[in-house]
Amino acid sequence: MKKPFLWAACVLATLGGATGFTALNRNLNPLPQNSNLPQKAELKLAPGFSATIVADKLGATRHLVVSKTGDVYVKLSKLKDGKGIIHLRDTDKNGSLDKQTLFGDYPGTGIAIKNGYLYSASNTGVYRYQLNAKEEVMQPAQPEEIVKGLVAKTRDVSKSITLDNKGNVYVTVGSPDETCFDANTGKGIMPCPLLDSVGGIWQFKTNKKNQTYRDAVHYATGLKNVVGLNWNNQTNTLFAMMHGRGQFHDKFPQYYTPQHSAELPAETMYEIKAPGADAGWPYVYYDHKQKKKMLTPEYGGDGKKTGGEKSLDPVAAFPAHLGPNAVLFYTGTMFPEKYRNGAFIAFHGKSSELQKGYLVAFVPFKNGKPSGDWEIFADNFAGVDLVQPTGPIQHRPSGLAQGPDGALYVSDDLGGSIFRIAYAAKKTETAKKN
């Protein structure tokens, strides 16, 4: 897909946030340390949208989910006080998540709620916790281990999860090796032996304990590392956002320039309709400029040879190195109609080509397919000018969740903040609709 940028106007946000938050804008007067009121967030949003920070300084917050009563469960990739899940609640109904309860003695990324259970991933498996009628974890929190023994080595160890409507949970396993390269031969190994346990998505049952690879359906392969994963209830299919590989110019300067390494390969979105899907890694990559699947240099490619005729075509593509960490299909009614059933994507990294990153993007969908160019929905999480930065990055979007009222929640694994993005139509706009 093309990559135009539909820049949104910067709007003033309504009050919201957490005590003690350091403002993105130095001109913003932070609330007193003893205040329990929310804090506004200086994000760039389209007119009518506003952003608040409803919790702050939580730690390495990754994915999150919002219960039907508005409570927020957040997964931590690093333990906080020995725990890896935070249950957040607004006890005084002022917009700030003022009460924290920690549980779960393992770090991780994935978290979801389905049919009376909270599902939570460690770096090697999946647990589930029974919920009460208010979707609160039953106390004491005693999880069932439903998946164990998944590979977690030196990098890309996080496990993302999503659930369908037939009692299955899908788990991603990233590859610690980007290329499946054999240093002795100078070529890629064919077939790549890594693909039996990493670089894909595995399907498990939600109601069976202690499952391992042997119990799973190898649902999709050829996916180097997927962190953004979601089941689309409109299409009844799985959608995955793959982090692209690197090391083009580093290892193959005869074919690729430093600019190629900065601009390739695309970050890609795949729709997986049935078990056995293959997205082509490590044999091919997607070049969003040529709009073609290309042979990787480890497997005979030179930046010009195409390949992967039998592998999946991406349904959407984005600039290199943006790092898609979450995808959410919007089903609420708070936002304008254009957002209905479309995909929000949390980008955790930065494109050197575009000098943009650390943002939430939006892809419109129609009839279950992308129907237009992607656009930047929420920007300035970084808090600095990415072209000429004057200080460190302040926030990196990592997780997305939809609240029961249709608000969008965004987690930040650098500052440990939870953002809430809401929409309120102007009176004149509402009058026109009526």
Query: What percentage of residues in the chain have a pLDDT greater than 90?
Result: 86
Q: Tell me the two tokens of residue 275.
A: 């078990």
Q: Tell me the two tokens of residue 281.
A: 């890694």
Q: Are β-strands 277-278 and 217-221 bridged in parallel, bridged antiparallel, or unpaired?
A: parallel
Q: Which residues contact 238 (CB under 8 A, 6 or more apart)?
A: 162, 164, 170, 201, 219, 220, 229, 230, 231, 232, 271, 272, 273
What type of residue sits at position 325? N
Cβ atoms within 10 Å, residue 150: 23
Q: What is the pLDDT of residue 147?
A: 98
State the average pLDDT over residues 407-416: 97
Position 138 confidence tier, pLDDT thresholds 50, 70, 90 = very high
Q: Is pLDDT of 431 > 60?
A: no
Position 427 confidence tier, pLDDT thresholds 50, 70, 90 = low
Among left, alpha and beta (phi > 0; psi -120 to 50; other), residue 186 is left
Q: Tell me the two tokens of residue 295.
A: 């042979």
Strand order in the sheet with 375-378: 324-329, 343-351, 356-363, 375-378
Q: What is the pLDDT of residue 27?
A: 30
CA distance 247 to 245: 7
Are 42 and 384 within 8 A, CB to CB? no
Mean pLDDT taken over the chain? 91
Q: Is pLDDT of 35 > 70?
A: no
The C-alpha torsion from 388 through 391 and 392 to 394, rounded to 10°, is -100
Q: What pLDDT, in 10s, does the model give residues 315-370?
A: 999 999 999 999 999 999 999 999 999 999 999 999 998 999 999 999 999 999 99
- Give me the residue label for tokens 């991780």: 108
Centroid of chain to Cα 116: 23
CA distance 176 to 92: 45
Position 429 confidence tier, pLDDT thresholds 50, 70, 90 = low
Q: What is the pLDDT of residue 247?
A: 85
Q: What is the pLDDT of residue 425?
A: 80
Q: Is pLDDT of 30 > 80?
A: no
Which of helix, strand or coil describes residue 141? Answer: coil
Query: What percentage of residues in the chain have a pLDDT greater than 70?
Result: 90
Model confidence, pTM: 0.90
Q: What pLDDT, in 10s, does the model give residues 270-306?
A: 999 999 999 999 999 999 999 999 999 999 999 999 9
CA distance 285 to 308: 9
Are 122 and 96 within 8 A, CB to CB? no
List the chain domain ranges: 53-433
Q: Helix/strand/coil (H, E, C) string of 108-135?
A: CCCEEEECCEEEEECCCCEEEEEECCCC
Q: What is the pLDDT of residue 139?
A: 87
Q: Among 3.30.43.10, 2.120.10.30, 1.25.40.10, 3.30.160.250, what is the CATH number of 53-433?
A: 2.120.10.30
Q: What is the pLDDT of residue 36?
A: 67
Q: Which residues pair with 316 in a beta bridge?
A: 269
Report which of residues 34 and 251 the model is more confident about: 251
What is the sign, positive or negative, of the torsion defined by CA atoms of 320, 326, 332, 335? negative
Q: Which residues pair with 231 in a beta bridge?
A: 238
CA distance 63 to 228: 9
CA distance 363 to 349: 18
Are 175 and 147 within 8 A, CB to CB? no
Cβ atoms within 10 Å, residue 247: 14
Q: What is the pLDDT of residue 328?
A: 98
CA distance 108 to 110: 6
Q: What distances in angstroms separate CA 31 from CA 12, 98, 412, one per listed residue?
A: 16, 15, 20
State the average pLDDT over residues 11-25: 33
Q: What is the pLDDT of residue 214?
A: 98
